[in-house]
């Protein structure tokens, strides 16, 4: 809750709205205690007194009633009616929507058609008709305003509920034997509640206006009772001769609606989970680069060269060092493996290359990424865009999240090509077909017309691989590309990648947690732990004689076929969280070779340059 408020008030406009609204609320709540004259006491001798006249700070109206007193009491009435109407509409409308969306089928149809009929009437006409039927009065105005706003909530909430009702967690609740009522209250309601809150916060202002409108027409509050609308209505006749009588309630309506809307927008932004982790802005097109030290200017090695790259996540006061002084390079036709447990910083390293780490909270705080000698960090966005997907392509880790759910596979693949090349639809489709064949998708012609949800996870992953290869990139960064594939397809994909690098000189950065895959494909391998490279060198050498205890343990985790009965050694403990790393070796707490000096200070990556290790007591000396 405090986190929510902090986020809310970081938005200056929302804070301003909240402050103004709080002032107004304090004023109307304390109204009975304030030394105000009776708002309904007439004094015809003092009609239309100007503001700041003695005894009447804001002047008087056409019956000589004190405007300040009427304003405070009128605001109190308008706010109460508007809020009550909003709450009533939200509760009733949301209940209708959630039931219709959850029930589906005929119930949904009947309820929603009734709601549609309600919506088919012009808004204000419907309110007028309801008041005409019930008779004028504030309570009836409240009922009318609430009733015309029910469809807004019902349709909104129904739409979201329909999407949720088919999800797996609802099925799971049903399988667990929960009744419909429980499912609605404990499974669906918490998921739609933020939307309801946002709906209320953005419509309260509107409902206050509507109530004021009805009162203005004489259908709401009845004389002598004041509300903002009736004050405006009564002042209408004297608009020219005594403008202050209209300006005072008009200004108050403006202040109320404005402050509620500003606050409502702020609440909506703060409740958006995508904005929670960072500031109140959406991720930028490239990762923010804020290098503290000088840019490394060593001559670039290979085609793609990461030099002392540092990427951090700045979340509130905490700094997560996800990538810490990582130097890697890969040349044409070469395959570099990056291996490490989950959370060791492999994906963030890969995403940093073309500035794909979400900012905020991601910041590149140091180093350089040279592609053909040129630094990609801080490069003008237009140039970087031309490189993304065309020269440096990605196979992303999560194949479900990277495909658009509403477009066919063929269209998405064609788009990937057409972003960078002027080719016709036919040609792009032909290329897509060829790629699907290359990644061994059966019946590629019909698969082109499939939506992502019609494919299995493994097939979607293969589509992701095909899209990455669509523009014949120079560098391919593959982030655990074969995790969802069975071993035979995995072997075929690895063979395809191997062929591409041998024939076309494709440079591959292959991220995985599987040493078996590394052994098959990679020339060199870098082992990451807690954001740092702890060992790197030629694959064969590292597999045969791992130097870092962590590497040795990782290799020991791989089962061997025909290797006889052998206990698979899991690594005890968990990888550390990267915001409070201990001094010295981050692996020391889990390492059985650790000695006191391991925890003392910075340990350098040292060795022959071909095979390096970051360890004071390695298993072997490289």
Binding site for ligand ADP (CB under 6 A): 277, 313, 315, 320, 322, 340, 342-348, 361, 578
Tell me: does residue 347 bind Mg ion (CB under 5 A). Answer: yes
User: In this complex, which beta carbon is closest to ligand ADP, that of residue 246 or of residue 347?
Assistant: 347
User: In this complex, which beta carbon is closest to ligand ADP, that of residue 291 or of residue 513?
Assistant: 513
Are 420 and 389 spatial neighbours (Cβ–Cβ below 8 Å)?
Answer: yes
User: Which partner from the list ligand ADP, Mg ion, none does 82 bind, CB cut-off 5 to 8 Å by kind?
Assistant: none
Smallest gap, in angstroms, from Cβ of residue 410 to ligand ADP?
30
Degrees to nearest 5, angle at CA 520 with 517 and 522:
85
- Candidates 114-122, 139-147, 393-401, 587-595: pick the segment binding Mg ion (CB under 5 A): 393-401
User: In this complex, which beta carbon is closest to ligand ADP, that of residue 357 or of residue 463?
Assistant: 357
User: In this complex, which beta carbon is closest to ligand ADP, that of residue 361 or of residue 389?
Assistant: 361
Are 570 and 587 spatial neighbours (Cβ–Cβ below 8 Å)?
Answer: no
CB atoms within 10 A of CB 25: 15
Are 477 and 395 spatial neighbours (Cβ–Cβ below 8 Å)?
Answer: yes
Are 368 and 295 spatial neighbours (Cβ–Cβ below 8 Å)?
Answer: yes
Tell me: does residue 536 bind Mg ion (CB under 5 A). Answer: no
DSSP 3-state of 571? coil
DSSP 3-state of 318? strand
Q: Which of 590, 618, 592, 591 is nearest to 604 (CA)?
A: 618
User: Which partner from the list Mg ion, ligand ADP, none does 221 bind, CB cut-off 5 to 8 Å by kind?
Assistant: none
What is the rounded CA–CA span in Å between residue 264 and residue 18?
A: 9
Token match 């902090």: residue?
6
Query: Could you tell me where the beta strands, DSSP code E, fall in 405-492?
Result: 475-479
CB atoms within 10 A of CB 48: 16
User: Which partner from the list Mg ion, ligand ADP, none does 344 bind, CB cut-off 5 to 8 Å by kind?
Assistant: ligand ADP
Pairing mode, if any, of strands 288-289 and 524-529?
Answer: unpaired
Smallest gap, in angstroms, from Cβ of residue 277 to Mg ion?
17
CA 259 to centroid of chain Cα atoms: 26
User: Which partner from the list ligand ADP, Mg ion, none does 455 bind, CB cut-off 5 to 8 Å by kind?
Assistant: none
CB atoms within 10 A of CB 566: 9
User: In this complex, which beta carbon is closest to ligand ADP, that of residue 195 or of residue 338?
Assistant: 338
DSSP 3-state of 405? coil
- CA 576 to each of CA 380, 518, 555, 613: distance values in angstroms, whole numbers, following the listed order: 36, 24, 20, 20
User: In this complex, which beta carbon is closest to ligand ADP, that of residue 17 or of residue 361?
Assistant: 361
User: In this complex, which beta carbon is closest to ligand ADP, that of residue 102 or of residue 320?
Assistant: 320
Tell me: does residue 60 bind Mg ion (CB under 5 A). Answer: no
Smallest gap, in angstroms, from Cβ of residue 344 to ligand ADP?
4
User: Which partner from the list Mg ion, ligand ADP, none does 320 bind, CB cut-off 5 to 8 Å by kind?
Assistant: ligand ADP
Tokens in use for 146?
Answer: 């609430």
User: In this complex, which beta carbon is closest to ligand ADP, that of residue 62 or of residue 276?
Assistant: 276
Are 260 and 204 spatial neighbours (Cβ–Cβ below 8 Å)?
Answer: yes
Smallest gap, in angstroms, from Cβ of residue 323 to ligand ADP?
7
Are 515 and 501 spatial neighbours (Cβ–Cβ below 8 Å)?
Answer: no
User: In this complex, which beta carbon is closest to ligand ADP, that of residue 244 or of residue 548?
Assistant: 548
Smallest gap, in angstroms, from Cβ of residue 226 to ligand ADP?
53
- Candidates 256-264, 331-339, 394-402, 439-447: pick the segment binding Mg ion (CB under 5 A): 394-402
Smallest gap, in angstroms, from Cβ of residue 483 to ligand ADP?
11
Using CB atoms, what's the residue nearest to Mg ion?
347
Per DSSP, helices labelled H in 166-227 are 168-175, 180-182, 189-216
Query: Could you tell me where the beta strands, DSSP code E, fall in 424-582?
Result: 475-479, 507-512, 524-529, 532-538
User: Which partner from the list Mg ion, ligand ADP, none does 322 bind, CB cut-off 5 to 8 Å by kind?
Assistant: ligand ADP
Smallest gap, in angstroms, from Cβ of residue 600 to ligand ADP?
24
Q: What character string, x for contact with Mg ion (CB under 5 A) and - otherwise, covers 349-388?
A: ----------------------------------------
What is the rounded CA–CA span in Å between residue 376 and residue 388?
A: 10
User: In this complex, which beta carbon is closest to Mg ion, that of residue 286 or of residue 347?
Assistant: 347
Query: Could you tell me where the beta strands, DSSP code E, fall in 261-361?
Result: 288-289, 304-315, 318-330, 335-339
Are 585 and 614 spatial neighbours (Cβ–Cβ below 8 Å)?
Answer: yes
Partner residues linked to 529 by β-bridges: 532
Smallest gap, in angstroms, from Cβ of residue 124 to ligand ADP?
47
What is the rounded CA–CA span in Å between residue 414 and residue 416?
A: 5
- Candidates 35-43, 179-187, 339-347, 355-363: pick the segment binding Mg ion (CB under 5 A): 339-347
User: In this complex, which beta carbon is closest to ligand ADP, that of residue 74 or of residue 345?
Assistant: 345
- Candidates 138-146, 162-170, 344-352, 458-466: pick the segment binding Mg ion (CB under 5 A): 344-352
Smallest gap, in angstroms, from Cβ of residue 193 to Mg ion?
32
Q: Which of 408, 417, 62 is nearest to 244 (CA)?
A: 62
Smallest gap, in angstroms, from Cβ of residue 530 to ligand ADP?
8
Smallest gap, in angstroms, from Cβ of residue 480 to Mg ion?
6
User: Which partner from the list ligand ADP, Mg ion, none does 313 bind, CB cut-off 5 to 8 Å by kind?
Assistant: ligand ADP
Smallest gap, in angstroms, from Cβ of residue 229 to ligand ADP?
48
- CA 495 to each of CA 75, 125, 391, 487, 491: distance values in angstroms, whole numbers, following the listed order: 74, 70, 21, 12, 6
User: In this complex, which beta carbon is closest to ligand ADP, that of residue 399 or of residue 607?
Assistant: 399
Degrees to nearest 5, angle at CA 252 with 251 and 255:
85
Token match 């740092």: residue?
532
Are 58 and 68 spatial neighbours (Cβ–Cβ below 8 Å)?
Answer: yes
Using CB atoms, what's the residue nearest to ligand ADP?
347
User: In this complex, which beta carbon is closest to Mg ion, that of residue 82 or of residue 343?
Assistant: 343
User: Which partner from the list Mg ion, ligand ADP, none does 244 bind, CB cut-off 5 to 8 Å by kind?
Assistant: none
User: Which partner from the list Mg ion, ligand ADP, none does 348 bind, CB cut-off 5 to 8 Å by kind?
Assistant: ligand ADP
Q: What character string, x for contact with Mg ion (CB under 5 A) and - otherwise, covers 552-581?
A: ------------------------------
User: Which partner from the list ligand ADP, Mg ion, none does 315 bind, CB cut-off 5 to 8 Å by kind?
Assistant: ligand ADP
What is the rounded CA–CA span in Å between residue 271 and residue 251?
A: 30
User: In this complex, which beta carbon is closest to Mg ion, that of residue 21 or of residue 326?
Assistant: 326
Q: Which of 373, 466, 368 is nearest to 417 (CA)?
A: 466
User: In this complex, which beta carbon is closest to ligand ADP, that of residue 288 or of residue 440?
Assistant: 288
Task: Count the residues of the shown chain that bind Mg ion, applying the rule CB under 5 A.
Answer: 2
What is the rounded CA–CA span in Å between residue 412 and residue 237?
A: 63
What is the rounded CA–CA span in Å between residue 485 and residue 462?
A: 8
Residues that bind Mg ion (CB under 5 A): 347, 397
């Amino acid at each position: 809750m405090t986190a929510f408020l902090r986020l809310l008030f970081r938005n200056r406009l929302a804070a301003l709205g909240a402050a103004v609204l709080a002032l107004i609320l304090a004023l109307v709540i304390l109204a009975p205690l304030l030394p105000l004259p009776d708002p309904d006491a007439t004094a015809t001798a003092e009609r239309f007194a100007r503001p700041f006249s003695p005894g009447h700070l804001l002047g008087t109206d056409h019956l000589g009633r004190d405007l300040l007193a009427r304003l405070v009491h009128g605001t109190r009435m308008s706010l109460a009616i508007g809020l009550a109407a909003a709450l009533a509409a939200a509760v009733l409308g949301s209940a209708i929507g959630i039931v219709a969306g959850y029930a589906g089928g005929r119930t949904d149809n009947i309820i929603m058609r009734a709601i549609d009929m309600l919506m088919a009437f012009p808004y204000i006409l419907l309110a007028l008709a309801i008041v005409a039927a019930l008779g004028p009065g504030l309570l009836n105005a409240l009922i009318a305003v609430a009733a015309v706003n029910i469809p807004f909530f019902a349709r909104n909430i129904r739409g979201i509920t329909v999407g949720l009702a088919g999800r797996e967690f609802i099925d799971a609740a049903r399988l667990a034997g929960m009744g419909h009522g429980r499912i609605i209250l404990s499974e669906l309601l918490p998921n739609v509640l933020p939307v309801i809150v946002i709906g209320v916060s953005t419509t309260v202002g509107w409902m206050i206006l509507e109530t004021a409108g009805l009162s203005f027409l004489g259908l709401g509050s009845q004389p002598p009772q004041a509300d903002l609308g009736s004050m405006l209505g009564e002042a209408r006749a004297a608009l020219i001769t005594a403008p202050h009588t209209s300006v005072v309630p008009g200004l108050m309506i403006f202040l109320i609606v404005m402050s509620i809307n500003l606050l409502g927008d702020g609440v909506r932004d703060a409740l958006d989970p995508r904005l929670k982790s960072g500031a109140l802005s959406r991720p930028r097109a490239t990762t923010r680069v804020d290098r503290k030290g000088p840019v490394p200017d060593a001559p670039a090695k290979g085609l793609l060269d990461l030099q002392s790259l540092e990427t951090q996540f700045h979340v509130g006061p905490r700094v997560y060092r996800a990538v810490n002084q990582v130097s890697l390079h890969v040349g044409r036709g070469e395959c570099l493996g990056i291996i490490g447990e989950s959370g060791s910083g492999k994906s963030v390293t890969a995403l940093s290359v073309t500035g794909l780490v979400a900012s905020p909270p991601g910041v590149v705080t140091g180093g350089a990424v040279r592609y053909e000698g040129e630094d990609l960090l801080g490069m003008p966005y237009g140039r970087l865009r031309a490189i993304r997907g065309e020269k440096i392509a990605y196979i992303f880790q999560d194949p479900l999240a990277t495909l658009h759910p509403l477009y066919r596979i063929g269209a998405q693949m064609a788009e990937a090509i057409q972003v960078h090349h002027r080719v016709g639809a036919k040609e792009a489709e032909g290329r897509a077909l060829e790629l699907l064949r290359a990644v061994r998708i059966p019946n590629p012609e019909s698969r082109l017309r499939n939506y992502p949800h019609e494919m299995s996870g493994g097939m979607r992953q293969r589509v992701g691989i095909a899209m990455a290869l669509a523009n014949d990139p120079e560098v391919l960064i593959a982030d655990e590309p074969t995790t969802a594939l069975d071993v035979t397809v995995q072997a075929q994909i690895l063979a395809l990648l191997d062929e591409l690098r041998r024939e076309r000189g494709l440079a591959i950065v292959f991220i995985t947690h599987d040493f078996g895959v590394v052994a098959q494909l990679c020339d060199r391998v870098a082992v990451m732990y807690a954001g740092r490279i702890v060992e790197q060198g030629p694959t064969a050498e590292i597999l045969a004689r791992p130097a870092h205890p962590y590497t040795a343990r990782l290799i020991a985790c791989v089962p061997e076929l025909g290797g006889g009965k052998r206990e698979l050694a899991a690594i005890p403990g968990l990888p550390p969280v990267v915001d409070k790393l201990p001094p010295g070796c981050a692996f020391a707490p889990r390492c059985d070779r650790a000695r006191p000096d391991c925890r003392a200070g910075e340990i350098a990556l040292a060795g022959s340059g071909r095979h390096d290790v970051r360890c004071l007591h390695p298993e072997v000396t490289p």
